[in-house]
């Protein structure tokens, strides 16, 4: 997969990251308001010494809101403040932000969220292949997100979902 466009140019790869996924994607106005409100909270955290730098962006037409910060790990209280703010936007927008489907699959501009059954169904129907991009919605650092989506097969190879694919080994005629 090609390297993602560089997000958060002023933050190092080691900066912490929280990926908020919206289902359906946030409309432009809600996405802009969410970025503004979360950045205001992050600026408060900087003033209080909870982090040293921060940034917030919306990507994929409101599908993702990325929150990044440098400095020590944020406390549980800080994460509770995120959750409260996200719950407010979830209520106002009608978009699931706190518990969306767990898999974000598809090429840039065509990202879909699916649950496990939807992922299996998409593979069975041929909608998704071993090479379908999977977005790193569980990324915990800016560097991990910057490395870009990975192929579906790579995302599931060490999970029970690997059985969706017959994987060819280096030995001709043998499958795993």
* Rounded to 5°, angle at Cα 14 from 160 and 110: 55
Q: At what angle do helices 28-47 and 76-93 cross, to 10 degrees?
A: 160
**The predicted structure's pLDDT at residue 73:** 94
Kindly list the distances between the CA atom of residue 79 and the CA atoms of 23, 83, 84, in Å, as whole numbers in the listed order. 21, 6, 9
Biggest CA–CA distance in the chain, Å, is 62
Q: Which residues face 69 on adjacent strands?
A: 16, 54
**The predicted structure's pLDDT at residue 15:** 97
DSSP, collapsed to helix, strand or coil, labels residue 73 as coil
d(CA 142, CA 50): 18
- The number of beta carbons lying within 10 Å of the beta carbon of residue 49 is 9
Pinpoint the alpha helices (H) of the chain. Answer: 28-47, 76-93, 116-125, 142-146, 152-156
Q: Which residues face 113 on adjacent strands?
A: 104
Walk me through the domains of the chain, giving residue ranges and CATH numbers: 16-93 (3.30.70), 103-164 (no CATH)
**pLDDT tens, N- to C-terminus, the chain (176 residues):** 333 557 899 999 999 999 999 999 999 999 999 999 999 999 999 999 999 999 999 999 999 999 999 999 999 999 999 999 999 999 999 999 999 888 899 888 889 999 989 988 988 898 888 888 889 898 999 999 988 887 888 888 777 777 777 643 344 444 43
**The predicted structure's pLDDT at residue 58:** 95
Those residues whose C-beta lies under 8 Å from the C-beta of residue 54, and which sit 6 or more positions away, are 39, 42, 43, 45, 46, 67, 68, 69, 70
- Residue 65 phi, psi dihedral angles, 5° rounding: -120, 120
**The predicted structure's pLDDT at residue 169:** 39
**The predicted structure's pLDDT at residue 171:** 42
């Amino acid at each position: 997969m090609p390297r993602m466009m560089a997000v958060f140019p002023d933050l190092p790869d080691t900066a912490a990251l929280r990926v908020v996924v919206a289902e359906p994607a946030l409309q432009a106005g809600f996405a802009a308001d969410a970025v503004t409100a979360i950045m205001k909270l992050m600026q408060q955290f900087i003033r209080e010494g909870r982090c040293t730098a921060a940034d917030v962006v919306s990507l994929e037409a409101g599908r993702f809101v990325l929150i990044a910060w440098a400095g020590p790990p944020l406390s549980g209280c800080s994460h509770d403040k995120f959750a409260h703010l996200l719950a407010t936007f979830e209520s106002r927008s009608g978009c699931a932000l706190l518990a969306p489907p767990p898999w974000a699959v598809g090429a840039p501009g065509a990202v879909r969220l699916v649950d496990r059954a939807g992922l299996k169904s998409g593979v069975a129907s041929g909608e998704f292949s071993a090479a379908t991009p999977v977005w790193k919605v569980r990324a915990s650092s800016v560097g991990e997100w910057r490395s870009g989506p990975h192929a579906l097969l790579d995302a599931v190879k060490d999970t029970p979902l690997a059985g969706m694919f017959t994987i060819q080994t280096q030995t001709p005629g043998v499958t795993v």
